[in-house]
Chains A and B, each alone.
Chain A
């Protein structure tokens, strides 16, 4: 377990003090945790089959229908009443909560797709007769994973670039800044449209292309912190002590410069999720058929006669982004130096054990 210093404890305390953000974090973590196991929550295969004394786990391994006394060599379709009956005769099946995965087509709909919500499809189906709940669970997972990956990698690149610029300054800074200004002028959306025409974009293509531009958001804050910090006496002291530039940058300055970056990150995460959603909405995102929140929205737009599609997409995206923003606000509060020393932090030990005697404790101030 990470050991927190007094500053860290106070930040945690401030984070918890923001009830809305604190609960948002838990709700988000639970939703994300559940969505990580989407295959066990929404799938068209049971996760456990007990048949004729044997245990089968269809999620991990494809069994032919003949294994359960059927006729075909192809993989068993457990939703097929015939197969289900065969298995029920000699054993049992444990099904996930939702018996559809994101691309299972429900053939036996009572009315033409998109069908409205009912007991079988809690949020109805889309216009290709796929269960909306299942698509949301998988779509949420891919959106958040995409957002996380994009945010983390762009933070690493952006922080490194900002650190180098701010620490060395001068010509490096000047040239790098001009490069960033030119690079930021590149029309990302047009590049994506061109990409879609050349390759079939998948998760990694989109991630790579967006990464080319998204790292620039972090450069500014980190560069500013480094420009400020390189004139601090503790950095001068480290230089006078012969500490190498790389060590000064990453050991001395970076921990102090990370506050701005960490505060920035939840908002960047929300932004990254939105980007993927909007690309999917425009149809230049993930390949057709993938689960995605943007695609649910696009379906809602295309099927105004089925308002549950549009409403579902809207509410899921709105709630997810609100949670992220609330978390971001709580993180921002936690790192706010003005709030850091207000209120009573827990476990505050009195300054004692001073051998120098008359050197009394001064009021805390001028921190970070």
Chain B
């Protein structure tokens, strides 16, 4: 059973108190390569899947950073690396001045209280054998925050009503609830440890549209109420636009564009972002007919064997010869608007 032990101040892993607007978490050159193994007893890596390849960004306290991209581009893996569910191949994850990559399992225990996650699938993210009250109460028990069962029950009821659920639901099992209700339970569980930073990994993708709106509003309300910071991973651009202060676009393990939300949606600079935005349907048939859709040629290349130079060059309408050789750095083309492309 793990219990929380305060770390001595002399150790390098002492967390700084971060004020609103300061950098809460910084990701530096994060790389996550998964080896493709061959052999049974003596295994050797014959290739690597470059799920996340040299990604850097930072998130300020109180901010919501949207992370978009198509399936398999490394959004979720980035989130898992931050949560230390995967140990990154290289790079630093600096949270409140502490490099999480250097901590062992024991050192991570205090971090577990500060960084939480809301998963995509409200069905698989709740243990079917545990009552809602146990699911929400367990983190508090494990971290020894609320050892008294009576007070813990009170806190669970409080969390449930914060998330818009009837406190009587604590006695229910997950299968007795709808998808939207389950997702609220997932949010209540994430809030149970009073985290500072929540990673929403496609947190609304599995819900239908009317319930998506409710959950998004709930997430917004909670951000105000508890001073939370979100990393909002999604592939639904309109949701991201609505919720995020800044948006980052990923393609094949690389970050291609990062800008203020409105700036990115109004003036996309990277050709991939443009194509992505033009694929979003507009809910008006007349306008939709007149729009020019920019359809990308070809398929996403395999992350096991990404193209040389700029990973987007085989599908890029602007590509020139040099794109095949030179990896474009993420550059600030306009104030606060970072693009990884040499042609814009």
Contact = CB atoms under 8 A, between A and B. Distances in A.
A257 to B, nearest CB: 10
Contacts of B138: 238, 241, 243, 251
A256 B128 CA distance: 8
Nearest to A232: B124
B211 to A, nearest CB: 6
Interface of A: 5-7, 174, 232-234, 236-244, 246-247, 251-252, 255-256, 351, 353-356, 358-362, 364, 366-368
A193 B169 CA distance: 60
Interface stretch (B54-62, B91-99, B179-187, B294-302): B179-187
- Max chain A Cβ within 10 angstroms of own Cβ: one of B128, B129, B211: B129
Contact of B85 (A7, A240, A359): A240
- Max chain A Cβ within 10 angstroms of own Cβ: one of B83, B119, B166, B178: B178
B184 A356 contact: yes
B175 A234 contact: no
Given A239-B85, A358-B210, A255 B129 contact: yes
Interface residues of B, number: 50
> In terms of DSSP, what is the predominant structure of the interface of chain A?
loop
B85 A356 contact: no
A157 B41 CA distance: 26
A240 B193 CA distance: 11
Given A356-B214, A359-B180, A367-B175, A234 B108 contact: no
Given A251-B138, A354-B165, A355-B165, 19 more contacts: A232-B124, A234-B124, A236-B117, A237-B119, A240-B112, A241-B138, A242-B113, A242-B139, A243-B138, A247-B1, A255-B127, A351-B176, A351-B177, A353-B166, A353-B169, A359-B178, A359-B214, A360-B178, A361-B178
A318 B113 CA distance: 59
B176 A6 contact: yes
Contact of A241 (B116, B161, B180, B184): B116
A57 to B, nearest CB: 48
B189 A242 contact: no
A320 to B, nearest CB: 33
A256 B127 contact: yes
Given A233-B125, A234-B127, A256-B127, A243 B181 contact: no
A259 to B, nearest CB: 10
A167 to B, nearest CB: 14
A242 B83 contact: no
Given A240-B112, A244-B142, A234 B164 contact: no
Please provide the 7 A-B residue pairs with the shortest distance between their CB atoms, ordered closest to farther: A242-B112, A233-B125, A362-B178, A255-B129, A233-B119, A241-B139, A244-B2
Contacts of A252: 127, 130
A241 B130 CA distance: 16
30 contacts: A6-B176, A7-B128, A7-B173, A7-B175, A174-B41, A233-B120, A234-B125, A237-B117, A238-B138, A240-B115, A241-B112, A241-B116, A241-B142, A242-B108, A242-B139, A242-B142, A242-B143, A243-B142, A252-B130, A255-B127, A255-B129, A353-B168, A353-B169, A354-B165, A355-B164, A356-B180, A358-B210, A359-B178, A361-B178, A368-B128
